[in-house]
Structures are given as C-alpha cells and as structure tokens.
Structure 1
C-alpha cells in the first residue's frame, strides 16, 4: 500500500470520537445512539474501501462525513418499502403493488392493526370463532356460492384446492390453458406440487368436449378449466365452455374446478370494455370450485379466494396446508371493506381500481390540464405537451384491452429522457413514468387528484427549477 493511502486511512477518526460531533449528537436525540453508531460504522467501512480501491483521495473532512452519515440515516428512516406515484397508466401495476385502497378503507385497516380485534373470537357466544367468518357471508352473498375460504394468493388457492381434491390422481386440463402466471410460476408446476398428475387434452388452439371425455378414467379426480386472463389466442380456436365442462364432470361424479385468475364481480361492459366472465357467472354455469385473486380486478388486498360447494371446501378447511396459507387480520380487514362496497352498490366510486377503469377521456384530459397549470411551464427548461396515450389494465388482466387516455410528455432541455426518468425515480417521493415519444411521459389515469401538486413539485425539482 502506498504512503498516500496509508495517510488517508490514519486520518479516519474512531467511532466514539465521531459520535461527539454536534451534527451527529442531534441525530442521536432524534433516533438513538445505536442507530447513529451503526450509520457511522457503515460510512467508515465504506470510506476505507474507497481509499483502498483508489476511489477516494481527499483528506478527511468532518463536515463531509457528517453529511454522509445524515444522508444514510435519512435513507434508512424512509424504509425500503416506500410509497411511489404511479404515472405509468397501468392500473394494476404488479411491480407497484397492484390495487390501492381508498383512504377510508386504509383508516379502517389501520384501526384494526393498532388495536386488538375479534379475529378469532365470536362476540355473540364469547367463544373461539373462525377468522374466515368475517368474509364468508359476504362472499357467498355476492357470488351465490355455498361456502367460501380465503388464503394468501390465488396460486395458494389453486394449490390448496388441488392438494385437497386431487392428490395422487389425475387432473384433466386443456393444453391451451396450462398458463404461466407472474414470477415464472406455471399452472403445471402448481398441479404437480399439489400431488396431482396433469392429463393434458386437446391442442394449443383447439380443445373439444370429446377430448375431456376420452381422457376420463379411474384415476380422474377433477376436470379443470383455467381462464386465460393474461393472454389471448385468436384466429382458428375453440374451447369448452364452463357449463359444458361442468356438465361432463357431474355426469361422472367429479368436480369441475375453475381458476378465474383476476376475479370479477362486475360486468366490464359497464365501463365500455369487452365482457369477461364474473365469478357469479362461472358458479351459475355449474362449476363446483372457483379460485381467483383479491388484488386484481376485484380491487382488494392480495388474497386467494375460493368459493363453491360446501362439500369440497370442507375438505380444504381440514387440510394441514390451510394453516400455512392463512391470511392475517389486515388482509381480512381490507377484503371485508372491499366486499362491503360491492354489497352496498358503492364499489364503482369507492374502489380506486374501478374508478380508474371508469374514467372518461374528458375527465383524464381535464386532470392533465390541471397538472400542466401546476407545473408553471413558462419557466421550465423543457418542452411540455399534452398527448393522447394508450393505457392498460395490467396485473395479468384483459391483455388485449387498450384504454385511451391523456398524458404530459416532458422533453427536458439538455437532458435525455432516460436521465429525467432516473431523477424522477430517485426523488424523495419517487414518480414512476414511461419513456415514450422521446420524452418522459406522465399518464394521468393513475395519478390521483391528491398527487398532482406532489408530481408537479418533483418534476420541477428534477428539471433543476
């Protein structure tokens, strides 16, 4: 090691000496001595490594070191899981948490999270109750099911269903419905993990009822249909309807299982969108067990919801896997509040996911014009324009649906769109955008009224104004 690096290393004070610095003593009062000590140690280690690798050649400065420690403490104080502003125009953005809650529902969840609750206590009898009873009645009333159960996501719902009903036996399913869901998880993998065996029938683009009929045998446990909610096969295609498949299953004393993927309680045609089967429609068609997600088009928390015939759900309630997959009080609180909105007929205005779907182009354009006013573009070193844009639902739902919307396109002077995007993403309140039209694009469909001022402030700061 050369003399210069040795000298720089010798200049580094010890931890206790640094903790006496006034700027860091203030932070010890705000947080704790241990938190500041940890930050000082981390910054010292970082500085030593920088010196040893030749990336730092400046004499030690207490003020500069104070700033580094304070910056680390501020970053740690924000936490790793943070709020962001979604300006992508993708409503159910999986990377950004999918469905969001209304402030009223968030307050209700917070109230239950901060206090004891009757999670598994029956207030009427004074005895132990079931956590699932808080949403069971609502789910049955809204879908027409005999019984209902909730686990932590839809993959878990499918896993529990098949582990309870098909372990060691065959599940007949169309080759065209062996889908891959998020995170590279595949329906065939879930079936195999459950202990069931896949019996593929038909082809990628065409499956007939006779294909299922020919595959039936002594080892058949169930017929299964998966709604292809995250992709479409068009052209020369054919598939078997839920009603026809359920009829065949019942003729042979078997259950018909249906994975709806993105669960729907309302007809999308209400919002001018193509029809998608609702959970109620699938059950009315005769399917015995239907599984779906809570945090997609339903607009609730992440959950896997199972509805259907009591005889089949009873087996799941007594399966050991249920304990490993059970949901907590905050999930149940969020789901109950969401279901109450459907029951009361207020879902379209109270559930943010449905509000985003229901927005008209005129409403979105009016909000874009308001954001333009907040930006005070006269002094901005950028060209800002109002542009029509295609938004999407996301979350593996309705992949072929385009939602016409409006956005602000920002072309910064002397800055690439990629650099502008990075600055917005690294802001104190990150703004997540698209890069399009050789500009940074903020779609207004997913920007709330209460976020316009924050978004304008952060854009101005990113532009150096």
Structure 2
C-alpha cells in the first residue's frame, strides 16, 4: 500500500475490537509464562523499532512499563501467565493509541474546505516550496540590509496589503482572536465599546465577543436587538467614555426575515472624531467577485472603517495568522503595545504571507486560496468522481451534495458538489471508523446511513493514494488456492 508519510513499517492499526490484544484466550502454540521480560529487552525487539522512530524512545518505554505494570496487577496473569506474543500485542496496542495522537496527514472527504479540525486552510504546495530556503537557513527577518542595522519584521507585507486593501498600514499577529484582543486592549481599555446585540457571537472553543471584551478591560455597551440594529442605536449610545464602535461579522450563523443592519459608511460618517470604528471581518475576503454577498476588507476600509481585523488563511489563502489593516496612526500604536511581542508570529508566517500577497496581486494561481481554487473549477470535482468510480466499479454511486467553505467564513453559502455514496454492506459507522484507521486516514461523513465521500475537498495530488487505500479496504482479498484446500 502506498504510504505518503514515509514512515517506518509498523504493525497496522488494529480494529476497535476482536484483536489479539483484546482476547485473553491463548493462541495455539503460545507458551504462557509468569516471568515478564525486562523493559530493555522488550525495547530491543524489532516490533517496536517503527514505534520508537515515530513516537520517540521515552514514550515507547513508558508504554512498555505501563503494560507490564498492568499485567503484574492482573489476576488472570497471576493465575495463568501470559504468552510473549500477547505481551507484544498489548504493547503494540498501547503504542497505536499514542500514535493516533500524532499529527498526521489526512484526506478530507467531508465537503468542508476550511475545516478547523483538519488544520483549516491548506497552503499551496508551490507557495510552501518557494519559502523553503528562507526558513531552513537564515534570512533578513529583522535586518535592514541597506544600513546593516535592526529593522522591522513586516518586510513588504504592509505595502502589499496597502495595494490589496487600500488600507494605510497593516500589522500581522498569530491569529485573528489576537488581532481583536490587541485592538481592544490598546484602543478601549477601561473605556466603552459599543456592539450590536445581533453580533455578540460565539465561535468554536468558547470564544465569545463579550468575554474577550471583558478580558481586554473594555466595557461592553449593547445596542439594538438580535435582528435589528440601526445607525441611530449606535449614535444614541455614544458618551465621552466611548472609545470604539465594534462591528462583528456573523461568522457561523445568519439572520433572515425581519432584519436590519446599518450601512457602515453611514455609521462612519456620523461618529464623533474621538470614537474609532473597528470591524472584525474575520474571513480575509479580498476578492469581491468571489463572494459578492460578503463585504471585503477593502470595502470596509473604503466605507470608512478605521481598523479591520481578519484571518490570514481562510479566504485569503495564506498561513494561519491575524491581520489588522487601517489607519496608520492606530497601527503604529498597536505595534508599540507590550502585548504585540506576545502575539507576533514567526518568520515562517511572515515569509508565506509576503509571497502569497505578491502572487495574489499578480493574479497568479499560487495566490489563490483553497476556496477560490475549488469553486472556480467545478469540472475538477466531477472528474475526481469519475476517476474514483472507474477505479472501483460498483462500489460507489454518484449523488448530489453540497460543499461549504467553513471556518466561520460564509455561513449562509452552500455550493453544489458531487459526492460518492459507498455501497459497501458494512454499517456506516463501522465503515467510517475503518476509513479513519487507514495508514493515511480518510475523513468522510454519513448521510441517511450511508458513507459519503465529498469530491470538493479531495486534493488532486492525493487521488492515487486514496484509490489504492480504498481498494485495499473495500475489495475482497485475492483467492488463495492453498488456503482454500486447508482443513478447517
């Protein structure tokens, strides 16, 4: 079986039940013993070599010791002993459980492009290759090559973002939650922040807008209702203690029906000079044509927002990071904040983001994020479905499905996408588990008790591997004439 991870050979991931490690019955030919081997003796056994390389010797040593300790405390072991093969199986099972916690490549067949549990937005392989030398050697991250003295970290990022968003200046932090927190700390600590009741969102992991305001030291002032907030609501709430009006993108839900939200330009024009207008745009949308119903960073800046914070991956297509774009005087204040050093990203993020922005401005395919690449080429999804069905005839049926961008980007947008429904007779949950147990796990979904592989999120480079793994999982074992003639 192809294995793209180039990992050493290890015992195949064991099924959830029915394994030798789960079976207390001794197999024929095994000789039970009440004398357990020494830890070092077991660590020298070939069956642990692959685990040591992938987990480290200390973690495997811990697994060996824990297994031996459990055996010593087992009444069954004290009465009957244990076969050496069973000791090995128990240790291997424990190592396999550890191995599943290791970061590993997976194949996304869920139909969610920016999948938080699967690493969010995958980077372009060409982009990754382009910055390899910048990150495996030294670079001029904080060196001004003209003077030989210490320089800033941003490089070309600020002028590139100025071209892309029309913002005067920008800074980069490690994620968009940090963007918002830093903004609130610097601009609104111990002062009032006005937020619509319909925009006090909570996203995954318990991130709540009211909680972030409280932690930053800002004081929340709620205005409007869940479904209707007007410009007058914002203006009526302003006092001499108001520092900020914060408008938040509804990242994971939509409100329909009797609703009203003010035009940001109307709010911007009416605000007094001492009040900053900030927008948590979130998704990093910079190409209006890609999602015409969403407001891009550039549109917010043009409408009068003083600061806009957004993600560097998601719809932008770069590494996971947070970006704040807006007025130069405010950006300079944020850069001097003591927390900025806590939030600043590594050179890997800076190099990837800088090169991405160059490609994006040059309209190169390397500058396209996963959502733009996928949605601009629906024929490629159909081609992947045809390729899979041709390789495994009779094992899949093409059915209509949908893809979502995900990641808190376009919560009300669903796009048509082909999916393949597996005809394997096994129960859906059993098959779903088996797909996750493959050497390169395949993450699928279930609909109406059938396993679905959504073609939208499969990457072209992984199709050959996916087909090979599915053949091994689904096709019957080759007929073996020798086994067929053996006595039961």
TM-score, with structure 1 as normaliser? 0.88
Tell me how far 1:252 sits from its aligned partner. 3.8
1:124 shift after superposition: 2.2
Q: Does the 8 Å contact 2:33/2:82 carry over to 1? A: no
The residue number in structure 1 matching 2:483 is none
SS at match of 1:165: helix
Aligned pairs for 1:209-288 within 5 A: 209-249=231-271, 251-267=272-288, 269-270=289-290, 273-288=291-306
3-state SS of paired residue (1:390):
strand
Write out per-residue CA displacement over residues 241-285 of structure 1, whole angstroms, 9 at most, x where no aligned residue: 110111122x44322111101111101x44xx5421111111000
Residues 15 and 37 in structure 1, CA contact (< 8 A), matched pair in contact too: no
Query: CA-atom RMSD, angstroms?
Result: 2.8
Give SS of 2:404's match.
strand
Q: Distance in 1 between the 2:436 and 2:235 partners? A: 54
Give the distance between the partners of 1:435 and 1:28, measured in 2 at CA. Answer: 33
Relative to structure 1, the CA distance from residue 29 to residue 90 in structure 2 (aligned partners, 3 Å threshold; closer, same or farther) is: closer
How many residues are treated as equivalent by the alignment? 446
Does residue 42 (structure 1) correspond to residue 60 (structure 2)? The answer is no
What's the counterpart of residue 18 of structure 1?
42
- The match for 2:322 is 304
CA contact (8 A) 1:89 1:391 kept: yes
Report the alpha carbon displacement of residue 239 of structure 1 after superposing the two structures with TM. 1.0
Question: Residues 286-310 of structure 1, C-alpha deviation per residue, up to 9 Å, x if partnerless?
Answer: 1111101112111211111000001
Aligned residue number for residue 190 of structure 1: 212
> Which residue of the partner structure matches residue 181 of structure 1?
203
- Runs (4 or more) in structure 1 with deviation over 6 Å come to 55-58, 70-79
- What are the equivalent positions in structure 2 for 1:342-421 lying under 5 Å apart? 342-347=360-365, 350-360=368-378, 362-375=379-392, 377=393, 383-413=395-425, 415-421=426-432
1:444 aligns with 2:462: no
Is the 8 Å Cα contact of residues 34 and 82 (structure 2) preserved in structure 1? no
Separation in 2 of the partners of 1:50 and 1:281?
66
SS at match of 2:423: strand
Change (3 A) 1:189 1:200: same
Bigger mean CA deviation after superposition, 130-139 or 342-351: 342-351
1-structure distance, mates of 2:383, 2:472: 24
- Which residues of structure 2 form unaligned runs of 5+? 1-30, 477-488
Contact preservation (8 Å) 2:127, 2:366: no
Q: TM-score normalized by structure 2? A: 0.84
> Is residue 350 of structure 2 the alignment partner of residue 332 of structure 1?
yes
Residue 442 of structure 1 aligns to a residue in which SS? Answer: strand
Please list the CA deviations of residues 85-133 of structure 1 after superposition, one character each: whole Å capped at 9, or x if unmatched: 0001111111111111111112234332211111111122211111123
